[in-house]
Amino acid sequence: MAEAAIAQRPAASATSVLSVKGLQAWYNESHILHGIDLDVREGEVVTLLGRNGAGKTTTLKAIMGIVRKRVGSVVFDGKELIGLSIDRIARHGVAFCPEERAIFASLSVKENLFLPPPISKAGAMSVEHIFALFPNLRERLSSGGGKLSGGEQQMLAIARILRTGARFLMLDEPTEGLAPVIIQQIGRTIAELKREGFTILLVEQNFRFASTLADRFFVMEHGRIIDTFANSELEGRMDRLHEALGV
């Protein structure tokens, strides 16, 4: 699966759909991000790497506007997002899938799936398309969200985003705590979404998983980007990654 995912990966556009410059963020008085610079090109999978506490999740939340105290520049598709509310950022086609998945336990899979309003009727993924990506969800459509396995909840969390029509996906630790067979399915889905033209910014502790999918990597430490490199450079960077990540 890993080799196939890389071999079938189409070339990403040279155009940056997301450009982050000098992004700083705080939780109350705690200064977490110290001037993040990164870009994501259209059709790319980009992975943020770093130890726990490096600021990876905060970076995604700051882009999405979930972290209120932030300064710098976040330009998406030519539009500045700093200063916009979360709902306005979402309407631009940006979506965030949190590590905790945020599935409504009291609602059925179907209700969870259709809860978020579409941001683009033309771009919203059809239910049949979603079932092709996640066959498990078809079988569990009437089940309560709280009765799903961790893997099924992760599938539903991603599917719910796809139903909105968002084309830029930020996925925070999508394989955390999942069985190997489910991790493989999530990997196949991300590879398929990339083939369909989605752009993905991924935070992932499972380095082997990320290495099969990402076009480029940004390495974070103490709220800063300390390195960036392409997948083709990965082999030559392993010693440094061992030091930075403990891989």
Question: How high is the pLDDT of residue 181?
Answer: 93
| 97: in domain | yes
Question: How high is the pLDDT of residue 121?
Answer: 61
Q: How far apart are CA 193 and CA 51, in angstroms?
A: 27
How much of the chain exceeds pLDDT 90, in percent?
80
| 31: in domain | yes
Q: Which residues contact 148 (CB under 8 A, 6 or more apart)?
A: 103, 109, 140, 156
| 7: in domain | no
| The pair of three-digit structure tokens given for residue 216, joined into one six-digit string | 């480029």
Across the chain, what does the average pLDDT equal?
91
Beta bridge pairs of residue 96: 170
Question: How high is the pLDDT of residue 1?
Answer: 39
Question: How high is the pLDDT of residue 160?
Answer: 94
Closest CA to 33 of 87, 73, 2, 91: 73
Q: Quote the pTM value.
A: 0.90
pLDDT confidence band for 150 (50 / 70 / 90): very high
Q: Structural domain tally of the chain?
A: 1
Question: 168-172 and 199-203 as β-strands: parallel, antiparallel, unpaired?
Answer: parallel
Question: How high is the pLDDT of residue 5?
Answer: 41
Kindly report, residue by residue over 126-146, the tens digit of the pLDDT: 999 999 999 999 999 999 999
| 170: in domain | yes
pLDDT at 230 over 70: yes
Q: Nearest 5°: phi and psi at 224? A: -135, 155
Question: How high is the pLDDT of residue 46?
Answer: 98
| 107: in domain | yes
pLDDT confidence band for 210 (50 / 70 / 90): very high
Helix axes 180-195, 150-164, angle to 10 degrees: 10
More confident residue, 247 or 136: 136
| 128: in domain | yes
Mean pLDDT of the region 97-113: 93
pLDDT confidence band for 8 (50 / 70 / 90): very low
| 109: in domain | yes
Strands (E), the chain: 16-27, 30-41, 45-49, 69-76, 79-80, 94-97, 168-172, 199-203, 216-221, 224-230
CATH number for position 226: 3.40.50.300
| 2: in domain | no
- Domain with 236, as residue range(s), is 15-245
Q: How far apart are CA 168 and CA 39, in angstroms?
A: 13
- Which stretch of 50-54, 91-95, 120-124 has the lowest confidence by average pLDDT? 120-124
Q: How far apart are CA 91 and CA 120, in angstroms?
A: 8
37 and 191 in contact (C-beta within 8 Å)? no
Question: How high is the pLDDT of residue 116?
Answer: 87
pLDDT confidence band for 196 (50 / 70 / 90): very high
